[in-house]
């Protein structure tokens, strides 16, 4: 069955360059993937082909194209979430304690609870340590 196709209506040179740059250099996978989809749509690739290339559903591709045609935006909107258990000072303190034995952060949870007066899970500590070490904030 032949499904109807949807394409990006217009794309200025500036937008094309922005999408190409996003596709090649963005550190966010979703932005890279959406940029590629919009560029392919502009080149008149069928929605099914774009969905196969981007490894997503054709409905998702149609939504991306509609949003691009309406707003020229690819980024996700900010989402609200649970407030952090520890404030920034307590997080720094927890990271310092956790780095004393980073392979076994669950051993440090008691020390963190005594220092901050708040209980956190091993998963929370692991995420904080990972963010600290992979995020490039480590001084070594």
The pLDDT tens digits of the residues spanning 55-80 come to 999 999 999 999 998 888 888 888 78
Give the range among 7-21, 75-89, 107-121 with minimum mean pLDDT: 75-89
* pLDDT of 3: 67
Residue 112: is its pLDDT beyond 70?
yes
pLDDT in tens, 5-38: 888 888 899 999 999 999 999 988 999 999 999 9
96 phi/psi in degrees, rounded to 5:
-60, -45
131 phi/psi in degrees, rounded to 5:
-60, -40
CA distances from 102 to 52, 70, 98, 115, 125 (A): 41, 47, 6, 18, 10
pTM: 0.58
Residue recorded with tokens 């258990």: 85
> Average model confidence (pLDDT) for the chain?
87
Q: What would the two tokens of residue 67 be?
A: 């949003």
* pLDDT of 89: 93
Return the higher-pLDDT residue of 3 and 83. 83
Determine whether 61 is exposed, middle or buried from the number of CB atoms within 10 Å of its CB (0-12, 13-18, 19+): buried
Confidence of residue 2 (pLDDT cuts 50, 70, 90): low
């Amino acid at each position: 069955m032949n499904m109807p196709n949807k394409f990006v209506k217009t794309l200025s040179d500036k937008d094309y360059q922005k999408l190409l740059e996003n596709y090649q250099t963005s550190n966010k996978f979703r932005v890279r993937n959406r940029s590629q989809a919009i560029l392919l749509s502009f080149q008149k690739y069928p929605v099914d082909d774009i969905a196969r290339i981007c490894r997503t559903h054709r409905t998702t591709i149609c939504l991306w194209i509609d949003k691009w045609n309406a707003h020229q935006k690819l980024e996700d909107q900010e989402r609200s979430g649970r407030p952090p258990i520890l404030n920034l000072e307590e997080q720094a303190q927890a990271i310092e304690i956790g780095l004393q034995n980073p392979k076994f952060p669950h051993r440090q949870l008691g020390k963190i609870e005594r220092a901050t007066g708040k209980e956190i899970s091993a998963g929370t500590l692991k995420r904080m340590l990972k963010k600290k070490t992979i995020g490039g904030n480590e001084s070594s």
